[in-house]
Amino acid sequence: MQGRAYFTDIQNGFQEWLQRLGYAAATIRHHHKSIALFFQLVQNKGIIKLEDITGEEILEYQDYLEQQPIATQTLQARLGSLRLFDQYLEAYGHATIITVKLKVIPSFETPKTILTQQEIKQLYEVTDNSKLGYKDRAMLAIYYGCGLRAREGLNLQLSDVDFRSGLLQIGKTKTRIPRYVPMSPAVIEDIKDYLNSARPQLLKAKSNTVLVHSKGQYKEAAGFGKRLKQLTELAGIEKQITLHSLRHSIATHLLENGMELEQIRRFLGHQSLEVTQRYTHIMYENT
């Protein structure tokens, strides 16, 4: 009975954490049910506290799920709850319980190509102090440093950049409320350098767009993608990446560095935490 009450208290703490983060009620019920199932299985083995859970119990739980008549997505959602529970433990300074690598079923989600933090550093290192180099760093600042979507970066206007507040304004229309993306000091420096030193030399026509060619605004973001490919080749990176890979990469790196999911959700402009939570799967795939 003591073990059951102990695990019930932990489940309730996990549920309260999810509520504070803003998860939908149905999603919280799913995670609560999944963790309750896991705790029931470990208690059946006579385990009465978290510290006694080993990699063996984690793998047995995974094997148990694989033997059940459930869909692949349901199986992965159950494992996702366990990963999220690990984040909860880590957030409050407790030892995590996942000490083995869990399986990730390829069909669960379209694979995303993620650059490591070292590979991002390599991209920056192959840029130079020419006007093209300043533009390269501004592109990386916008798509990696600020995590913008391809079209968001394409349409970014000079009036959207506020160096005083350190924010980019994204998505303002007559019918849509904008979101505000914070710029780090390094991002501010790279964008300022480009606007002051390179953009005036590159632009031969009038334009209010941040990233421009000689005739003004790009019609498509494909030109940025092509340049990114050239930079990856110069950096000796063999991965096939896109502009969206930079967005996936910054999200994963922020998660690795301890940022809360809710903060990452706001940073990326996701409508729900469920979308942002997918990055927990990506992070575990790459560990």
- Catalytic site includes residue 244: yes
Q: Which of 103, 192, 227, 244 is catalytic?
A: 244
Q: Which of 83, 149, 213, 266 is catalytic?
A: 149
Tokens at 55, concatenated: 């990699």
- Catalytic site includes residue 227: no
Strand-pair category, 167-170 with 161-162: antiparallel
- Catalytic site includes residue 247: yes
- Catalytic site includes residue 78: no
- Residue among 123, 153, 147 at smallest CA distance from 265: 147
Tokens at 187, concatenated: 């991002």
- Catalytic site includes residue 279: yes
Amino acid residing at 214: S
Q: Which of 247, 248, 253, 265 is catalytic?
A: 247
Which residues lie below 8 Å from residue 80, measured CB to CB, with a gap of 6+? Answer: 277, 280, 281
Q: Which of 103, 213, 266, 270 is catalytic?
A: 270
- Catalytic site includes residue 194: no
Q: Which of 172, 204, 215, 239 is catalytic?
A: 172
Cα within 13 Å of Cα(97), Cβ side: 24
Q: Which of 61, 143, 144, 279 is catalytic?
A: 279
Displacement of CA 126 from its chain's centroid (Å): 25
Cα within 13 Å of Cα(189), Cβ side: 3
Q: Which residues are catalytic?
A: 149, 172, 244, 247, 270, 279
